[in-house]
Structure 1
């Protein structure tokens, strides 16, 4: 009897567990496996329902060099809930053509172990390949090399010497050690020092898009014909919010240096400081314009979509206005809507995808509108939807205008509704609706009920064994 009851409990328990929805919060994605030498092999971690980007350490792969890391966040609204997906991507480069074995590996994400199978990646010769090419301001690095004697220097680099207000520029902090430098050294209280350095360097009048570095990667570079190991500690893109110039003062990094010059067979470690050079970024004000203090700065284009191009008065349609390009995507303002009596245009649903790297911040921001036409006729939407921005490349203002046209045929919406119900708009009598009624999350209720049943079955199982 006990055995029969136990089998029934196990079957019920198994059915309930498998009936519950399986939801992967994080996963590993592998990029293309057929690449040219100038292309990186990509490993990405995708985290769903994550407001904050976690710290992730990617594996070291034999014969492949770790380089830049990028982070992408996408935000959208589904059934009235904000959904955020974080994607962190690590780049790996090969020094020569060939087949490379990527062994199986695991990555820890918020206490969860993600597993990836073994695979083969093929790198082939491409049109061009620059060995050890530097990201950033190479001229500034070469000037720093001229001023050092032992082949070691700390560098704060930027990719521009001047920028418009709200235009992005890159910042990178790296320690460079020549391969033939006559010293041995190691990092000393690094995390504590880095936080102090960033506290000094981070300008208060800039929007920061941090790429995110969880580990120091040794990268081989060539400067003035000399081979160096670059230890990159921080990289981000900054967007000036005011017209004040930005000063990055000189900062200091202490390293433990092995000194055996005065002793025999005894290594003596001393703390030695390395300082960066100060850098100033000139911030330029935008040319005169009525919206000078509001427009986005960067390089953008428009993609749009209309759910229908022929409708009746009073029939709602969706219109997607998507701005994509390079710039501060998060701060992109909504299009300017020209007031009119031909449409009811309701506030948009907003979603965005932002990819952050040292080279740039790119992405898209989508404004999804509901439109209800009131009168018949043909209406070019470019008259009503406009988005003005400052093009940092041409150094001129530009306007993204809709190229769609909406044709409305049928009886006038206002007159038709007056004759039927006396209503003049889609949202009439909205104030009379009860907004205090609580909405129910049936999915969560079902999940809680399932968990309760599992607990009850466990209690019954325990009681059966006790008897």
Structure 2
């Protein structure tokens, strides 16, 4: 009888402890399992309630090539509480059609070990040969095309000139020709990489990166010759001053099976490879009263209005959402043109940022409460405007609301509405008791669970003492 009681106590204790485990905030998710060769199979790790992005090593999968990685962060407010979701996604490509078995694997996230069961995915033929070719190509700059070495390290950017606050990509890679008559391996790679990045990271740039926890390799063509590219680092940089961004020469030591003139290390020699220095020239924006404040990139507007016909004093929600490519985190709020006809209250702000090796894109939404005070038709474009510098047109542009709010009814009178018992959304705020705390059912459930655990422990001690 005593053994039965002890067993039940332990089971209840561990069930309650597991229910409170933070592991439920981290999950593994798969993308589509029926794909074509020009589409990647996606494995994602979703982390909830964490603003920091952990380092994640995704598994190697037989017959699939690991390529780009994407990091997406979502920040929003739900019932007054900040909700943060981080999603880190790894792409896998197949080289030929067929069925591929994804074996079971484990991923460690912040000391939490996640397990995934095996699954089957199917790759069909690509929709077009051109799409497959385009996906396998890598853009190389003039420095790579002019380099005739069998082995070389390259620091390159996708732009040599950029506007202030305009993003450009930085890429650090080692290239080895497939027919190079030498064998080599990395030497103290992590230590060297940190030193390289310390030299390369400019002080006058905001950095957005996916994070590389491992060397990603792929085959590329340079001057018609096959190379293996070992990508060691890639980020998107946004200069916030007009000082030119200088990238000094950096070097990488490799262990080589070559015995000509170097320090001998375990019958191998250390050979140094050095990149070439260069600069990215930063241009100031054209003259404008808001030149030092506007966002820079390519954006468009999506908006929502909860109701287009309301009465005076009735509140409506208006969402001004800016989507596009650029430094999403730094997007400022729209310019609000104040008026006596509408009360516009400060917005709730949410954002989604998608970081890839090619770009930083996403959206930033400003959620307003608008309370009209009189009859009429109100074109919201007169009240909500967002000015930015369009890098595609190299000119300033303005996003304006296209919505119209129609208000019908008597003029808004606070006293009359109070007497009629239909106050506006923000009326009588001064009469509310701000000292009264709202009930948090989640917290109550957590407290109740902790009390149960304590009772179980006391019961277990009592059973043992008998």
TM-score, structure 2 as length reference? 0.91
Q: Which residue of 2 aligns with 1:453?
A: 452
The answer (yes or no) to whether the contact 1:417–1:423 under 8 Å persists in 2 is no
**Is 1:164 aligned to 2:163, yes or no?**
yes
Q: In terms of mean alpha carbon deviation, does 420-429 or 75-84 score higher? A: 420-429
- Distance in 2 (alpha carbons) for counterparts of 1:137 and 1:344: 53
Q: In the aligned structure 2, how far is the partner of 1:223 from the partner of 1:346?
A: 57
Q: What CA distance in whole angstroms lies between the structure 1 residues aligned with 2:134 and 2:405? A: 53
Which deviates more from structure 2 when the two are superposed, residues 224-233 or residues 299-308? 224-233
> How does 1:79-94 map onto structure 2 within 5 Å?
79-94=79-94
Tell me, yes or no, if the aligned pair for 2:238 and 2:327 is still in contact at 8 Å.
yes
CA distance in 2, matches of 1:15, 1:172: 48
User: 1:446 Cα deviation (Å)?
Assistant: 2.6
Question: What is residue 123 of structure 1 aligned with on the other side?
Answer: 124
- Aligned CA distance change for structure 1 residues 196 and 439 (closer, same or farther; 3 Å): farther
Given the superposition, is the C-alpha separation of residues 267 and 182 from structure 1 closer, same or farther in structure 2, using an over 3 Å criterion?
farther
CA contact (8 A) 1:258 1:267 kept: no
3-state SS in 2 of match to 1:233: strand
Query: Does residue 1:137 correspond to 2:140, yes or no?
Result: yes
Q: Matched residues in 1 for 2:20 and 2:165: separation? A: 47
Q: Residues 277, 9 of structure 1: CA spacing in aligned structure 2 closer, same or farther, 3 A cutoff?
A: closer
Aligned-partner Cα distance in 2 for 1:21–1:192: 35
Match of 1:348?
A: 347
Distance (Å, rounded) in 1 between the aligned partners of 2:83 and 2:325:
23
CA contact (8 A) 1:136 1:157 kept: no
Of 283-292 and 52-61, deviating more is: 283-292
Structure 1 residues 6 and 335: CA distance shift in structure 2, 3 A: same
CA contact (8 A) 1:132 1:221 kept: no
Contact 1:135–1:359, Cα closer than 8 Å, also in 2: no
Displacement of 1:113? 2.2
Secondary structure, aligned partner of 1:137: coil
Q: 1:312 to 1:23 in 2, by over 3 A?
A: farther
Task: State the Cα deviation string for residues 308-327 of structure 1 (Å, max 9, x = none).
Answer: 11111111111111111111
Separation in structure 2 between the aligned mates of residue 23 and residue 253 of structure 1, nearest angstrom: 39
Q: How does 1:277-356 map to 2 (within 5 A)?
A: 277-356=276-355
Cα distance 1:423–1:244, how it changes in 2: closer, same or farther (>3 A)? farther
What is the deviation of 1:426? 5.5
Given that 1:136 and 1:158 are in contact with CA atoms closer than 8 Å, whether structure 2 keeps it comes out as no
Give the C-alpha shift of residue 386 in structure 1.
0.6
* Per-residue deviation, residues 57-115 of structure 1 (Å, max 9, x unmatched): 11111111111111000000122221111111111122223332222222111222222
| Aligned equivalent of 1:232 | 231
- CA distance in 2: counterparts of 1:352 and 1:445, whole angstroms: 30
Partner residue of 2:31? 31
Hey, what's the Cα distance between the residues in 2 that align with 1:7 and 1:228? 62
**1:158-237 to 2 correspondence within 5 Å?**
158-237=157-236
Aligned to 1:102: 102
1:255-281 deviation line (CA, Å, top 9, x unaligned): 12222469xxx9721222111111211
Distance (Å, rounded) in 2 between the aligned partners of 1:335 and 1:420: 36
The runs of 5 or more residues in structure 1 that have no matched partner are none
Whole-angstrom distance in 1 between the partners of 2:422 and 2:61: 68
Q: How far apart, in 1, do the equivalents of 2:104 and 2:161 lie?
A: 46
**Residue correspondences, number:** 460
SS of match in other structure, 1:180: coil
Cα distance change on mapping 1:7 and 1:65 into 2, 3 Å: closer
2:40 — aligned with what? 40
Residue range with higher mean Cα deviation, 171-180 or 29-38: 29-38
SS class of match (1:454)? helix
Does the 8 Å contact 1:176/1:230 carry over to 2?
Answer: yes
| Comparing 450-459 and 436-445, the one that deviates more | 436-445
Q: CA deviation at 1:139?
A: 3.0
| Regions of 4+ moved over 4 Å | 1-23, 421-440
Partner residue in 1 for 2:59: 59
Q: 1:156 to 1:71 in 2, by over 3 A?
A: same
Aligned twin of 1:73: 73
Report if the CA contact (8 A) 1:325-1:364 is conserved. yes
- Check the 8 A contact 2:315/2:425 in 1, yes or no: no
